[in-house]
Amino acid sequence: MSQPFEAVYQDGVFRPTGPVDVPPGATVRLAVVPAPSPGDLNGPTMYDLFKDIIDMPIDPGRTGYADAVSENVDRILYGGPKGAL
């Protein structure tokens, strides 16, 4: 069972900021990841994260993603051959 939650570290103890579903005395494994501050907008955008995938041509003979998607929309959405529902 994995249950992500936020906690505050104070006086050598991690204190959850809300309720957690863990029995008292249970041993758990923690991975410390700093929580982003509410005003932190310096991280990468979704576009930055997926730019290489967005710009990748589907078929080298095509000009780009839109051409391939428009011709293969049924296969992409429904998993069948072009034109199949």
In degrees to the nearest 10, what's the CA dihedral of 71, 76, 79, 83?
-20
Asked if 72 and 82 count as a contact pair (C-beta separation under 8 A), the reply is: yes
Q: Provide the whole-model pTM.
A: 0.40
Q: Across the strands, what pairs with 10?
A: 13
Residues in the chain: 85
The per-residue pLDDT string of the chain (85 residues; one tens digit each, 9 = 90 and over) reads: 678 888 999 999 999 999 988 898 999 888 888 877 766 666 677 777 777 777 766 665 555 556 666 666 667 677 765 554 4
Alpha-carbon distance values, 20 to 16, 74, 76 (Å): 7, 44, 40
